[in-house]
A and B are shown apart, each in its own frame.
Chain A
Amino acid sequence: MLSADTYRASYEAVSALPAWSWNPFADLRQMWAFPFMVNAFRAGTITAVLAGVTGWFMVLRRQSFAGHTLSAVAFPGAAGATLIGVSAVYGYFAFCVAAALVIAAIPRSGKAAGGTESALTGTVQAFLLACGFLFTALYKGLLGGVDAILFGSFLGITTDQVQLLAAVAVIVIGALAVIGRPLLFASVDPDAAAGRGVRVRLLTVLFLVLLGAATAAASQITGTLLVFALLVTPAAIAQLLTARPVRSLLLTVAIALSVTWLGLLVAYYSPYPIGFYVTTFAFAGYILARLARGSA
C-alpha cells in the first residue's frame, strides 16, 4: 500500500486535478504520459475481459452469492499476506482458491438444500472477513490501507502486476474455453448433462476454482468489495438483452470493457474513487437494459 501512497503523492504534486480540455486526443496523450495511467488501463482492460467471461458463467449458473463470497475473501488474503510480510498477490490467490474449494466441498443433497448451503457460504464469508479485520488490527500500519484493499485504487499498479494479471487471464480464459461447452450444458440442464455422461460435479469444482482465481486477480484493481460489480452486472445486462450464448458472452465483455474504461477516465479527472464510477456506470446500464426490455 506504500507504493500507492507514493504514487498518489507524486500524482497530486504533478497535477492537483487534471482539467478536461474537450480535446480527446490531447487529453488521452496527457493522461497516458503517466506510466501509472498506462498500467491502469492495461490492468483494467485485462480485468474487464477476465471478470466479464467468468461472470457470464457465474450469472448463468446462479452462483452470485458464491462469487460475492470469493471476492470478499480476497480482503483477508491481502491483509494476511501483508501481516506475514509477503506480497499481497499470494494472499489474494491462496485465500480465493481455498475458499472456492471449501464452498465446492459442501455436501449437496438435492435442490432442497438451498438454504443450508447458503448459510454455509455466508458463514465462510463473514468469518474470513473477520479474519481480515483481525489481521489489520494486528498489523497496525495497514489500517490506512484498508480502504484501498476494499475499494480499490488504480494508482500504483506496477508492470509486474500487469504481467501477472495477463498470465492469470490467459490461463483462466483458456481453461474456460476448454470446458466451456460441457460447462454451458451442465449449467443449463445439470440432470440431462449428467445423463449424457458429463461430469457435473467435477465441472462445478473446476469452475469455482477458476472463479476464485479470476476474482483474486481482479480484486487488486477494483478492490475486493467491488470486483463483484464487474462480475455480475455486465453479465446480467447481456443476459437481459439477448438469449443467444455466444452473442451475450461477447456483449458481456464489451460492456465490462466500456464500463471500466469510462470509470478510469472519469476517476482520473475527479477526486472520487474509481469503484464508485465503475459500479455506477454498470448499474445505470442495468437499469437502461431493464427499461429497454420492459418497453420492448
Chain B
Amino acid sequence: MNGLVQPFVQHALLAGTAIALAAGLVGYFLVLRAQVFTGDALSHVAFTGALAALALGYDLRLGLFAATIGVALLIGLLGRQGRADDVVIGSAFSWILGLGAFCLTVYASSRGGANGDSGVRVLFGSIFGLSSGQALVAAVVAAVICLGMLLIARPLLFASTDEAVAGARGLPVRLLGLLFLVLAGACAAEATQAVGSLLLLGLLAAPAGAAHRLTDRPYHALALSAGLAVAEMWAGIATTLAVPSLPPSFAILAAATAVYVLALLRHPRTGRP
C-alpha cells in the first residue's frame, strides 16, 4: 500500500473517483433511455476533438469539451424528441472519426514524427499521467456533472420511463433530454482523460447495465450504478499498482466487465420492468 503515497496515484484516485461517480450517474440514464449508442458516438467525437485541439496547438481538454458538448447538442436538436436515429448517428460519427485520423496525421507531421504516443494516449487514456492541476480540474468538473445529474434526476427519470405522461404533466421533456445529452457529452470528455475515448463506453455502460440487472428500483439502481463505477475504478487502480505491466485503462475495464458478467449470471432474466 506504499503506492498510495505516490503523488501520481493520489491524483489518479482523486480524478478517477470523481469521474467514475459522474460516469455511473450518466450511464444509468443512458441505459435507461436506450442511448448507449449515443454515448458510443460521443466517445469517438472526443477523440477527434482532442486531436483537433492538439493539431491546432490548443489545450487538449478545450477540444474535448467543445467537441463532445457541441455534438451532444447537435444530436439532441436534430433528433426527434432528443433521440436521434442510429443510422444518422452512425453516419455522422464514422465521418468524425475519419476526421480524427486526419487530425492525427496533421499533428504527427507537424511534430516531426515523435508523437505516436499522443494519439494512443487519447484513444486509451492514461490516468497515471495526470498532473495535480489536471486532476483537480477533472475532479471539479466531474463534481459539477454529478450535481447537475442529481438536480435533474427526478424529472428525467419520469420523462425517461413515460415520456407521454411526463409531457402531459407539463414537464419540458425535450429540454430535459437536451440537458441530459449535454451532461453526457461533458462526462464523455471527462472520462476520456481517465480511460481514453475508445474505452469510456465501458465505464458508462457496464456499471449501469449491472445496476439495471440487479435492481428494479430506480433510485437504488442509480446509486448502485455510481457506487459500482467508483468501486471498479478503485479496483482497477489497485490492480495496476500490484501488477505494473497492466495498463490502468485495461484493469479498470476488466473490473467493470467482471462485475457486469457476475450481475448477468446472477440474474439471467432481464431485470427491466
Contact = CB atoms under 8 A, between A and B. Distances in A.
Interface of A: 59, 62, 64-65, 68, 72, 107, 109, 112-116, 118-123, 125-127, 129-131, 133-134, 136-138, 143-144, 146-147, 150-151, 223, 225-226, 228-229, 232-233, 236, 239, 271-273, 275-280, 282-283, 286
A68 B209 contact: no
A282 B34 contact: no
Given A120-B205, A130-B250, 7 more contacts: A62-B87, A107-B270, A120-B209, A130-B202, A130-B249, A232-B91, A272-B105
A272 B99 CA distance: 10
Contacts of B98: 226, 229, 275-280, 283
Nearest to A283: B95
A118 B37 contact: yes
A99 to B, nearest CB: 13
Interface in B32-60: 32-34, 36-37, 39-40, 44
| Closest 4 pairs between A and B when the two form their complex, measured CB to CB | A126-B202, A279-B98, A119-B209, A122-B205
Interface stretch (B3-11, B68-76, B115-123, B170-178): B115-123
B249 to A, nearest CB: 6
B134 interface: no
A282 B202 CA distance: 28
Contacts of B272: 112-113, 115-116
A273 B51 CA distance: 15
Given A116-B209, A129-B198, A65 B36 contact: yes
B36 A119 contact: yes
B86 A64 contact: yes
B109 interface: yes
Interface of B: 31-34, 36-37, 39-40, 44, 86-92, 94-95, 97-99, 101-102, 104-106, 109, 116-117, 119-120, 123-124, 196, 198-206, 208-209, 212-213, 245-247, 249-250, 253-254, 256-257, 260, 264, 268-273
A51 B94 CA distance: 14
A145 B190 CA distance: 27
A229 B119 contact: no
A125 B256 CA distance: 12
Contacts of B86: 62, 64-65
Contacts of B200: 126
A129 B199 contact: yes
Contacts of A133: 123-124, 196, 198-199, 247, 249-250
B95 A229 contact: yes
B120 A65 contact: no
Contact of B250 (A121, A134, A151, A278): A134
B191 to A, nearest CB: 11
A271 B212 CA distance: 47
A118 B40 CA distance: 10
A279 B209 contact: no
B201 A126 contact: yes
B34 A123 contact: no
Contact of A123 (B102, B109, B209): B209
A123 B257 contact: yes
A130 B40 CA distance: 15
A36 B73 CA distance: 43
A282 B204 contact: no
Contacts of A136: 120
A151 B101 contact: yes
A68 B87 CA distance: 11
Contacts of B34: 114-115, 118
Nearest to B44: A225
A125 B204 CA distance: 12
A182 B269 CA distance: 29
A137 B247 contact: yes
Contact of B94 (A130, A239, A283): A283
B202 A286 contact: no
Nearest to A127: B257
B104 A151 contact: yes
A150 B94 CA distance: 13
B95 A146 contact: no
A283 B270 contact: no
B37 A232 contact: no
Contact of B205 (A72, A123, A137, A150): A123
Contacts of A107: 268-270
B123 to A, nearest CB: 7
A21 B106 CA distance: 25
Contact of A68 (B90, B109, B247): B90
A225 B97 contact: yes
A119 B212 CA distance: 10
A127 B252 CA distance: 10
Contacts of A150: 101, 123
Contact of B109 (A115, A120, A271): A271
Contacts of B89: 64
Contacts of B104: 147, 151, 273
Contacts of A273: 101-102, 104-105
Contact of A147 (B99, B116, B208): B116
